[in-house]
């Protein structure tokens, strides 16, 4: 079976979604081997930059660096409940 490989951004997003209430420090994403859906992936040195891009696209949450902190931290965006 030929499955499509995940992009680095997809890997980061799925990692954050696997632990939705946890904040990941930017340095925790760099040079890390992660397992997603039973497959092993490697996040290289650009993972923190890609996480920042995901936050700028509104796909994940980002805190810290903009508030004068030394490191940024990221977590999955909470799904919003819509009532009709």
For residue 28, give its domain range: 8-76
pLDDT, one tens digit per residue, over 46-61 is: 999 999 999 999 999 9
Quote the pLDDT of residue 40: 93
- Mean pLDDT of all residues in the chain? 86
pLDDT, one tens digit per residue, over 10-23 is: 999 999 999 989 99
The vertex-14 CA angle with 55 and 49, nearest 5°, equals 35
* Domain total in the chain: 1
Strands (E), the chain: 24-25, 32-36, 39-43, 60-63, 73-76
Is 81 within a domain?
Answer: no
Look at 21 and 1; give whichever has higher pLDDT: 21
Is 1 within a domain?
Answer: no
How far lies 77's CA from each of 6, 45, 55, 74, in Å? 19, 23, 9, 9
Q: Give the SS3 label for residue 36.
A: strand
Is 84 within a domain?
Answer: no
Residue 11 phi, psi dihedral angles, 5° rounding:
-65, -45
Rounded average pLDDT over 20-36: 92
């Amino acid at each position: 079976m030929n499955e499509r490989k995940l992009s680095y951004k997809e890997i980061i997003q799925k990692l954050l979604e696997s632990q939705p209430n946890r904040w990941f420090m930017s340095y925790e994403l760099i040079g890390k081997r992660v397992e997603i859906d039973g497959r092993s992936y490697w996040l290289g040195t650009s993972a923190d930059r890609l996480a920042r891009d995901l936050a700028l696209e509104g796909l994940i949450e980002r805190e810290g660096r903009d508030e004068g902190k030394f490191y940024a931290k990221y977590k999955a965006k909470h799904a919003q409940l819509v009532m009709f």
